[in-house]
A and B are shown apart, each in its own frame.
Chain A
């Protein structure tokens, strides 16, 4: 599914070079549920940005579905994001003053999806993310945090992506709602979705089947969780 080989990322601020990622290699197969764990500053966000085709590595190779995307242009990366990747962010990033349905439809617009089928797909997606149907026509800013994150998950699902990246999806939620959101991810994984979860909390990472721990830009642990 995805494979990275000797990925490094170096940030330059003036003369100072910061190595955010040092020669990282691993692969993720179809249907996996991987948690990438590490304290803040460990390079886990940088890794997610590269895996999510939001950023390019300084060196190394990245194969997405067999294609080497490490040298892709901005617009080619946008196409990969549009067709293969769904994102869930810590701060939800929903369009304010816009209905739930329209928020979920947004990726379909950029994918040139036929207009008449959009709403049905968005509804199905919201239902699999576990949002109550009564909320579908509410404005996004009228929802609770847990509901907002479900809308964000539905938005990530709507394009039927090959892989979903969730960046601290429970970071802005209380533990009870966080648990419900994690349950949604487990359910989606059971249905066959590949999910990559980025978190710094151990108990959140426990939800995943595989745990990759990062510190100072290097992998220090790559284990299978036994539930």
Chain B
């Protein structure tokens, strides 16, 4: 039997009962379609988180006071409670080779009121002139905080786009006065929008000079974070190690047990992709169940077909078909059904993913990996669930098969 004959026989067999074949294929279509859609949603989410974390700054190291306990993640760091990072630490860090820019920050949440009486509660960050270079932000309107404004503890503020919109709606905020924690500040600039990162919104901030923040608003002389931009990606771990040693010496603590922690972007990314990967696997597993149900549908149809076509199988054997010919024929039928289902399923899954993006704005990503996975899984299901019925057909005794009523 030639391969082309096998295909032709398979085509005739499948098209002989279009309704039943169609319904069987539908099971696989739904299975493959949901696997593709779910994986694309999961991968889209992780891709979005990855790009927004990279958008926070390039080659970024973040130093925080207190200890980030392994296993407890970055959320429960002791930020705010510990006050171990000081302004003097900046000079120590600046002497490390490979450091490009340093952005010391002190952040608190305060109530902000606009002249029109609109108010909002936002994160106020005391920052220096290097902040835009480290954090990959740029000013859309007006200007950023300058060195002399830092030295003179100027009461000036740069608004994040979300805050600007909350306070001023569509009117121009530049030059207006706002009140942060009952202190007047002059708006000198508005940042460019970066978009949400899922877990926090980088647009919902107000930047003021660090000196102003420490002396006037917070009344504190410590820092909540120090962000370091490293010159090159491959210097990251070296700079991180040197910073640990240098700060430990400065703080007179054991470098094995420092009173601060340094997170690199890779650490944050690792923690978050772990979450999204788990999420993706969970979604795919749920979708995978429908794929298995679809496969059982194929097996059910093939079993029925074998029984229905018993006499035909007997005849084929009588005119010289071998066991292999018969089992290949039924196996090809099952694989063809799953392949058709797989192809339609991929289109359906891609459509669903686009639909999700279109209607909810959630990012989705259809990867080649998920398509290859879906196709090989559907072929595998065809073989696995078609094998038993095919063997059953091949083992039929021709005489009994011919007599079957």
Interface residues of A (CB under 8 A from B): 49, 52, 54-55, 74-75, 78-79, 81-83, 87, 89, 93, 95, 97-98, 102, 106-107, 109-112, 115, 155, 159
- Cβ-defined contact, B16 with A81, below 8 A: no
Q: Is B275 an interface residue (CB 8 A)?
A: no
Kindly report which residue of chain B lies nearest to residue A83, judged by CB atoms: B320
Shortest CB-to-CB span from A99 to chain B, Å, is 10
| Interface mask (B317-338 → A, CB under 8 Å = 1, otherwise 0) | 1111111110000000000000
Kindly report which residue of chain B lies nearest to residue A156, judged by CB atoms: B319
Instruction: Give the secondary structure class of A's interface.
Output: helix
Known: A109-B5, A110-B1. A87 touches B323 (CB 8 A): no
Shortest CB-to-CB span from B307 to chain A, Å, is 15
- Cβ-defined contact, B320 with A112, below 8 A: no
Q: Is B316 an interface residue (CB 8 A)?
A: yes
Q: Is B349 an interface residue (CB 8 A)?
A: no
The one of A49, A93, A109 in contact with B315, judged by C-beta atoms closer than 8 angstroms, is A93
Additional A-B contacts beyond A89-B315, A107-B319 (12; CB < 8 A): A54-B398, A55-B399, A74-B322, A75-B322, A75-B323, A78-B320, A78-B322, A79-B322, A81-B317, A81-B319, A109-B2, A110-B325
Shortest CB-to-CB span from B30 to chain A, Å, is 29
- Cβ-defined contact, A93 with B1, below 8 A: no
Alpha-carbon gap, A155 to B12, bound state (A): 19
- Cβ-defined contact, B318 with A81, below 8 A: yes
- Cβ-defined contact, B2 with A112, below 8 A: yes
Known: A55-B399, A110-B325. A82 touches B4 (CB 8 A): no
- Cβ-defined contact, A82 with B312, below 8 A: no
Q: Is B311 an interface residue (CB 8 A)?
A: yes
- Cβ-defined contact, A109 with B1, below 8 A: yes
- Cβ-defined contact, B321 with A78, below 8 A: yes
- Cβ-defined contact, A49 with B399, below 8 A: yes
Alpha-carbon gap, A93 to B315, bound state (A): 7
Shortest CB-to-CB span from B239 to chain A, Å, is 71
- Cβ-defined contact, A110 with B323, below 8 A: no
- Cβ-defined contact, B399 with A54, below 8 A: yes
- Cβ-defined contact, A95 with B312, below 8 A: yes
Shortest CB-to-CB span from A16 to chain B, Å, is 19
Alpha-carbon gap, A210 to B200, bound state (A): 98
Alpha-carbon gap, A55 to B399, bound state (A): 8
- Cβ-defined contact, A82 with B1, below 8 A: no
Q: Which residues of A contact B4 (CB under 8 A)?
A: 115
The one of A49, A78, A98, A115 in contact with B317, judged by C-beta atoms closer than 8 angstroms, is A78
Alpha-carbon gap, A52 to B321, bound state (A): 14
Shortest CB-to-CB span from A50 to chain B, Å, is 10
Q: Is B402 an interface residue (CB 8 A)?
A: yes
Shortest CB-to-CB span from A159 to chain B, Å, is 8
Within 8 A of A (CB), among B228-274: none
Alpha-carbon gap, A10 to B394, bound state (A): 24
Kindly report which residue of chain B lies nearest to residue A86, judged by CB atoms: B319
Alpha-carbon gap, A75 to B320, bound state (A): 9
Q: Which residues of B contact A55 (CB under 8 A)?
A: 399
Alpha-carbon gap, A74 to B401, bound state (A): 15
Alpha-carbon gap, A87 to B314, bound state (A): 12
Q: Which residues of A contact B316 (CB under 8 A)?
A: 106, 110
Kindly report which residue of chain A lies nearest to residue B16, judged by CB atoms: A97
Known: A79-B320, A110-B325. A89 touches B402 (CB 8 A): yes
- Cβ-defined contact, A82 with B2, below 8 A: no
Alpha-carbon gap, A83 to B398, bound state (A): 17
- Cβ-defined contact, A54 with B318, below 8 A: yes
Within 8 A of A (CB), among B59-84: none
Q: Which residues of A contact B324 (CB under 8 A)?
A: 75
Q: Which residues of A contact B322 (CB under 8 A)?
A: 74-75, 78-79, 110
- Cβ-defined contact, A93 with B311, below 8 A: yes
In the A-B complex, the 3 residue pairs with the smallest Cβ-Cβ separation, listed nearest first, are: A82-B320, A107-B319, A93-B315
| Interface mask (B4-46 → A, CB under 8 Å = 1, otherwise 0) | 1100010010001000000000000000000000000000000
Shortest CB-to-CB span from A127 to chain B, Å, is 20
Q: Which residues of B contact A87 (CB under 8 A)?
A: 318-319
Shortest CB-to-CB span from A149 to chain B, Å, is 14
Shortest CB-to-CB span from A110 to chain B, Å, is 5
Kindly report which residue of chain A lies nearest to residue B320, judged by CB atoms: A82
Q: Which residues of A contact B318 (CB under 8 A)?
A: 52, 54, 81, 87, 93
Name 5 interchain pairs, CB-CB below 8 A, sorted by A. A52-B318, A89-B315, A93-B312, A107-B320, A110-B321
Within 8 A of A (CB), among B379-405: 398-399, 402
Alpha-carbon gap, A111 to B4, bound state (A): 14
Q: Which residues of B contact A98 (CB under 8 A)?
A: 12
- Cβ-defined contact, B320 with A110, below 8 A: yes
Alpha-carbon gap, A81 to B320, bound state (A): 5
- Cβ-defined contact, B2 with A155, below 8 A: no
Shortest CB-to-CB span from A146 to chain B, Å, is 19
Q: Which residues of B contact A97 (CB under 8 A)?
A: 16
Shortest CB-to-CB span from B305 to chain A, Å, is 13
Kindly report which residue of chain B lies nearest to residue A48, judged by CB atoms: B399
The one of B1, B16, B314, B319 in contact with A155, judged by C-beta atoms closer than 8 angstroms, is B319
Pick the most buried of B9, B315, B402: most chain A CB atoms within 10 A of its CB.
Answer: B315
Shortest CB-to-CB span from A105 to chain B, Å, is 10
